[in-house]
Amino acid sequence: MTFRRAAPIARSLRIAPVALLLLGATALAQAAGSPPRVGESPAHAAPSSAKAAQLAAQATPSPAQLIEQGTRLEHGESVPRDLAAAHDLYCKAARSDSPDAFLRLGWMYANGRGVERDDSIASTLFRRAADAGSAVGARLSEAIRGSEDRLPECLTKAAQVAQADRGPTPTVSDPAQFRAPRGGIEQQALVAAVVRMAREFRLDPRLVFALIRVESGFDPMARSVKNAQGLMQLIPETAERFAVRNVFDPLENLRGGMSYLRWLLSYFEGDVVLTLAAYNAGEGAVNRHGGVPPYPETLAYVQRIRAFYPFDQHAFDPKVARNGPPRILPARIPGPRTEAPFTIAKAG
């Protein structure tokens, strides 16, 4: 990590450039706690009611978990580097007044890492970190002075909506997380197919990639103990429901899985958490429980995907599931909901 203006700032403060660099590195090293690593296998034993409640609380990632995943994405640690996604995760954590999130966002704006460099935003974020108790934030706010108080747009609006094709194309570059499917489709061809089909089904490609990563690890021949099969782990009943004849054909499996995902988003009015819970346990189970079922597998499943896709709300077409069975939508938690920076655009 570099601090582009280390020398000029150091001269103005009468400190060595390396000291300023270490100051920033110290800021980024002060993470809040030690959250569990994303992707760790949950225990499958039946939990106590207290454990189930704990898992339910974890279905939405904590600020520390969001920061951990954002750090991985910012630096490309075991995942493809994605500064835009890291910025989104830091923003979500900052909405909980996390001083570490303010520091990391400020560092991005101070250095123009994935965003346009902006001293005013950087300084304001460092002051927010200082107000939340960060001594490093206080020192950095003195080192970088902006002309006005200004926060990034992600902290001034509850939801942002942008065209999907303005963002980076999702990639799958870690060989440990990808096995090329049989039948000749190679890695980049599969990535392109997922992006193209996701937009055809009016889905955020990042949600589809997160789901495939957790469901099958990008293995088109994956089969679970419950006989869920293929990239998007379709059980026989779901495959038949969406006219999938060969679940091990990657493109056919993707089409069936995205059809179901699109239907669930319509049925649950764009609620990402309920949609993911239903993809794992079925919409009937979500209705019976009036929310995410207290199944250990489902709770852990929702938590794992949310670590990669932290948005609460997704655009949906109400007509897709208009003939579905009556649904029970639980009362939503008060406060702003984070909408994915993605909007439905006609497939062209």
Tell me which residues are annotated as active site. Answer: 215
> Alpha-carbon distance 103 to 122, whole Å?
9
> Alpha-carbon distance 328 to 271, whole Å?
12
CB 44 within 8 A of CB 296: yes
Residue 70, Cα to own-chain centre: how many angstroms?
Answer: 9
> Alpha-carbon distance 172 to 250, whole Å?
15
CB 17 within 8 A of CB 7: yes
SS3 content of the chain, % helix, strand, coil (to 5): 50, 0, 45
CA distances for 275 relative to 93, 141, 163, 316, angstroms: 22, 42, 22, 11
